[in-house]
Structure 1
């Protein structure tokens, strides 16, 4: 997955309704690493919004880490604890990939075929500021034509399971979504 996704404020009422909590977001059609992203996480009384900086930079890393592979997130020392205890969802309306066509890089927007919000699973790291890493997986056939990885998405009907199950029990949720769920179009 490339390091860009899009959030539009019109998804806020849908997200607020799904999680029964106020969700406020400003439109950012080009959310990039180190910028803040609105997330949903659990709270004692249900769910809450936490804004987190996208990416972590462990002492051993020379660059910002924005994604964790869903296949190894449960076992990698960098992610294991956060995956067990600090899961979140990042509501968005899509993400971007670039593909070289006729010698030029062409930008594509990947979004829900029904224009609904997509819920990227992530893990939070609470330091001076809260930081976020999103999860990726092998792509479905359609997305695989553009990139070798794609974001994982949690379907609305699986959000309770994502937040309330142990790390082994959520493993089946960490696969790619169907080709039919994603619409791809050239972006400006």
Structure 2
């Protein structure tokens, strides 16, 4: 039993930060609330006050990630810039990125998660609408799928080091900018 009292300035943030570090190093499977409590210097039950369980913690990480992604993509000047920002987000927030797209780890009906995911989706749709107006129906939706597939696929391959040879020493964001320019023309 941990005899330390529950005194922490922001336990929720401390647990999230520790979890992100563990996920970045070992993946989501390496995550344990007991280990995170130890890292935060609190009782093993303390994180449950904020997250209930491991799934709750991973859901909170995904919700935070989608919120960060939405804010990042909303700053884009055009579709190509949105894709570059998506790739940058994946590089700067690898643990969020791993968890966000693993629905088997999450409470997919969580309100915070569904709201943040909707904000990120809207940001991506707005970027695509500059190239394919929404009035085009299925074509606009498919253009969105194509744009997301390109950015997400590139980011995923980059994160798993499958593009190390292809990218070489070049800036991955510039490589993505060139790649997206080959496939999407601003209109």
TM-score grouping bracket, smaller chain normalisation: under 0.3
Of Structure 1 and Structure 2, the greater helix share is in 2
Of Structure 1 and Structure 2, the greater strand share is in 1
Q: TM-score, normalised by structure 1?
A: 0.26
The structure whose Rg is larger is 2
Q: TM-score, normalised by structure 2?
A: 0.26
